[in-house]
Structure 1
Amino acid sequence: MTSEDPIRIETLLADDIDEPLARSVSELLCRVWPKPGRTVETRVEQFLAERGVYQGPPEQAPRSFLIREGSKPIAFSSILSRTIRTEAGRMTIAGLAKVCTDPEQRGHGLGEKIVRAALAPIDDGSFPLVLFQTDVSVQPFYEKLGSRRVENRIVNSLADDPEADAFWHPVIMIYPKEAQWPEGTIDLQGPGY
């Protein structure tokens, strides 16, 4: 992508993602975040399984954000709606997931643009905050965008081992940094993202 190209960010609901798009995004995700057992096929299945499932308020519907070069996905992010259990009670928040930029396209500001798109539903009041995990090396990037690190233990009471960590990255963050956030253990009431 050159500096003269306009950057267009597409907003996609789960039902907007058909099999060819799911496949091309899954290929990007697998290149950027290779994980044992997470193949292009398993990721495609996950995208397609999310179609027609969400039943909540439209402004909190899970959505993805996509930047393409031609028809090729080069940056992607998603938010999902998650009701978590905290020591202060239940909260419906956004979860930030699947943030990636094609390695060949890094250094052009696409990561910031795709994350800012995902944060817009928090900025417009659709969610009180977003909770996500990341690596130490990426923490300053998210801090620059207005996030802060939190130290809560994150579990999934619905897992086979309900006391195990639900997140696998060492840094847990929320956005915006000034959001009210409870102390104590956070139960995602579902798998990590």
Structure 2
Amino acid sequence: MTFAPNPTMAVEVIAYNRASRALRKEFDLLQCRVYAEPEQDADPAPLHDPALDALSFYICADDGRVISYTAVVSKTIRHGMHTFSITGLSHVMTDPAYRGRHLGLRTVAAATRCIERSSADIGLFTCDPPLAQFYERAGAWPVVPDVVLIGSRDEEALSSATLKKVVLMRLLSTKARGVGSSFTNATIDLDLPVGQFL
């Protein structure tokens, strides 16, 4: 293992694209434990598209295993007549053996603080409806019931409506708040490759 254990269980952060192969493997292994997937022998696909410039917030157990994870991903979109930088949470997960210890709350809170201090115009992502209260508590993320996210305009693109996800959004910049009405009863195109979503 090329990274040190974390005896204090502090939230650590690293740019995903710069993480060591060993650390990325730990992120992958956590995902396998969370979703009860078999461990892959070959190198799996990366958790995040390199173009989304993910920041990884994670907590390790004493033995060096990653046990909680949240990423912040970023991109630029066009909405109406304006271009906005958006950022959102992705791949929020905690090892089932460590649930109930508020580790997920801590990684989401740290990631949310990063978003709040960033130059992003909009914080934006989706979750399953039962998890909305968790994100409200961890980072004051409100559900915006009149907004639909679509991966792209492609027929095969994912959408919050068809996936039955709720949209969580915060207008962060003066620019975004100044045109806040354009995000009411709105469909927001994330301009992502087919199969990707936030």
TM-score of the superposed pair, with normalisation by structure 1: 0.77
Aligned counterpart for 1:156 among listed residues 151, 158, 168: 151
Alignment check: 8 A CA contact 2:84 2:122 kept: no
Secondary structure of 1:153's counterpart equals strand
Tell me, in whole angstroms, the C-alpha distance in 1 between the residues paired with 2:123 and 2:56: 14
Q: Provide the identity percentage.
A: 25
Tell me, in whole angstroms, the C-alpha distance in 2 between the residues paired with 1:28 and 1:20: 13
Q: Which residue of 2 aligns with 1:57?
A: none
Determine if the alignment matches structure 1 residue 146 to structure 2 residue 151.
Answer: no
Q: Which residue of 2 aligns with 1:62?
A: 54
Q: Which residue of 2 aligns with 1:27?
A: 29
Residue range with higher mean Cα deviation, 178-187 or 130-139: 178-187
TM-score of the superposed pair, with normalisation by structure 2: 0.75
Tell me, in whole angstroms, the C-alpha distance in 1 between the residues paired with 2:165 and 2:42: 25
Secondary structure of 1:71's counterpart equals coil
Tell me, in whole angstroms, the C-alpha distance in 2 between the residues paired with 1:177 and 1:47: 26
Alignment check: 8 A CA contact 2:88 2:124 kept: yes
Q: Which residue of 1 aligns with 2:187?
A: 185
Cα deviations across residues 52-93 of structure 1 (Å, max 9, x unaligned)?
Answer: x67xxxxxx531111000210000010111112223522111
The list of structure 1 runs, each at least 4 consecutive aligned residues, that deviate by more than 4 angstroms after superposition, is 38-43, 176-179
Gaps of 5+ in 2: 1-6
Number of residue pairs aligned between Structure 1 and Structure 2: 178
Q: Which residue of 2 aligns with 1:129?
A: 122
Which aligned pairs between 1:1-80 and structure 2 lie closer than 5 A?
6-33=8-35, 40=40, 44-47=44-47, 50=50, 61-69=53-61, 70-80=63-73
Residue range with higher mean Cα deviation, 111-120 or 145-154: 145-154
Gaps of 5+ in 1: 55-60
**CA RMSD across the alignment:** 3.1
Question: Kindly tell me: are residues 111 and 94 of structure 1, through their superposed partners in 2, closer, same or farther at Cα, counting changes over 3 Å?
Answer: same
Secondary structure of 2:108's counterpart equals helix
Secondary structure of 2:120's counterpart equals coil
Tell me, in whole angstroms, the C-alpha distance in 2 between the residues paired with 1:83 and 1:112: 27
Secondary structure of 1:85's counterpart equals strand
Residue range with higher mean Cα deviation, 118-127 or 76-85: 118-127
Paired AA for residue 140 in structure 2: G
Determine if the alignment matches structure 1 residue 165 to structure 2 residue 159.
Answer: yes
